[in-house]
């Protein structure tokens, strides 16, 4: 895998743009994004498991039932959720794409993010379509990445290059996510594009398999969002033989997808609302994959552990506590814990009990921006990684007046 520039425009045949159309009061904030493929693309998606779902999810599900789409439209600033006319507004957004590009409304993925329970006025979106489509470009991923941001402090986009059957392929993604991030797919907006050729069925299989080990292992605050999704469009313009079954090409495709999704997970976790540190917990030596995943996820979800990391406090007991109540089938007498960063590595627990360590050295390790929590559960063959962030005063400040 080779990391490259370009985001969702790195793959052949994808154009993008993002503008401020007037949904958000701050005119310096873009609030409407569009991604368009030159040709129809195999499409797969996974959605939030919250019972309260945004109207765009219902419309997107209907539109990609046949496994194909050609465009993605997304607004920020309003979630279009819990609105009586939500479905109609989402459908109008798709119709506006058809009117501006000629792409059938039934081939459009639609998404919204922002405040819940406030009606979404279609007027600014309709007024902005001419400007949005006029500047669609094959090198404009960044504008789209900026337009889907809400409380995000940094845009999230990346791309990779890989080879399938001798053909050079590309895959890129953009994401938004800073708060309301918690496992139970999907709890953010992620749009991924690729010029690789793959059937809709295998694309859906690849995505569902991948999210179990990536986006479902991500938590910022324990709140599962209402509207968000992860979507992949594959237009096949790279010219490789279409992937229709498992095998070497499917494995390479899965590796490319995982490279993109893992990096987007790290970007989202590191940009958690009010966060100052990215936390990565890797659990190894588990007897089952489930035990590894549950243990790692429980650690990054612990509010007490997240607060300790904010204070650079090597309170390893909170790691064991989180594993202990996680429900994972582990032997607590075999648990070991290390804290690691670019400043060094400190062992703080072995076989379920504390070991002598330098508090000063540990603080130095935990003052860094990226912290690894290494959790050993025994001598089993399974491992898993989860991502999160610290819990800070600013998280409360941000969410204390998010709506107003």
Active-site residue set = 187
- Token pair 């419309």 is at which residue? 59
- Are 189 and 176 contacting, i.e. CB atoms less than 8 angstroms apart? yes
- Produce one character per residue of 300-319: b if its CB has 16 or more CB atoms within 10 Å, e if not: bbbeebbebbbebebbbebb
C-alpha–C-alpha distance, residues 74 and 30, integer Å: 11
Measured in whole angstroms, how far is the alpha carbon of residue 317 from the centre of its chain?
Answer: 30
Please give the full DSSP string across 315-368, using - where no structure is assigned: -THHHHHHHHTS-----GGG-EEEEEETTEEEEEEETTEE----HHHHHHHHTS
C-alpha–C-alpha distance, residues 358 and 375, integer Å: 19
Measured in whole angstroms, how far is the alpha carbon of residue 331 from the centre of its chain?
Answer: 32
Which residues are paired to 340 by β-bridges? 345, 372
């Amino acid at each position: 895998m080779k990391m490259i520039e370009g985001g969702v425009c790195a793959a052949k045949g994808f154009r993008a743009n993002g503008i401020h159309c007037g949904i958000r009061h701050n005119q310096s904030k873009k609030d409407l994004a569009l991604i368009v493929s030159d040709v129809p693309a195999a499409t797969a998606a996974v959605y939030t498991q919250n019972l309260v779902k945004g109207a765009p999810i219902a419309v997107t599900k209907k539109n990609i039932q046949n496994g194909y789409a050609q465009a993605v439209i997304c607004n920020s600033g309003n979630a279009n959720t819990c609105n009586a006319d939500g479905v109609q507004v989402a459908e109008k957004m798709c119709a506006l794409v058809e009117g501006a590009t000629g792409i059938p409304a039934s081939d459009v993925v639609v998404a919204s993010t922002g405040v819940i329970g406030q009606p979404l006025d279609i007027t600014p979106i309709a007024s902005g379509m001419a400007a949005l489509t006029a500047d669609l470009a094959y090198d404009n991923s960044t504008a789209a990445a900026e337009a889907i941001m809400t409380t995000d402090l940094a845009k999230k986009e990346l791309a990779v290059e890989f080879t399938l059957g001798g053909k050079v392929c590309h895959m890129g993604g953009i994401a938004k996510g800073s708060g309301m991030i918690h496992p139970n797919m999907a709890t953010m907006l992620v749009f991924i594009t690729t010029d690789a050729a793959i059937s809709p069925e295998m694309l859906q299989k690849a995505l569902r398999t991948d999210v179990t080990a990536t986006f479902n292992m991500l938590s910022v605050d324990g709140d599962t969002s209402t509207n968000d999704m992860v979507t992949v469009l594959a237009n096949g313009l790279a010219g490789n033989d279409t992937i229709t079954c498992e095998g070497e090409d499917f494995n390479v495709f899965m590796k490319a997808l995982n490279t993109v999704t893992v990096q987007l997970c790290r970007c989202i976790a590191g940009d958690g609302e009010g966060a100052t540190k990215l936390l990565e917990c890797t659990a190894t030596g588990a007897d089952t994959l489930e035990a590894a995943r549950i243990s790692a996820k429980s650690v990054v979800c612990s509010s007490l552990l997240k607060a300790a990391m904010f204070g650079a406090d090597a309170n390893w007991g909170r790691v064991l506590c989180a594993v202990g109540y996680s429900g994972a089938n582990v032997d607590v007498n075999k648990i070991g814990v290390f804290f690691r960063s670019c400043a060094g590595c400190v062992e703080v627990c072995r076989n379920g009990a504390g070991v002598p360590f330098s508090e000063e050295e540990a603080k130095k390790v935990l003052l860094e921006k990226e912290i690894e929590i290494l959790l050993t559960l025994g001598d089993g063959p399974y491992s898993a990684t989860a991502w999160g962030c610290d819990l800070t005063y600013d998280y409360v400040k941000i969410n204390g007046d998010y709506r107003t």
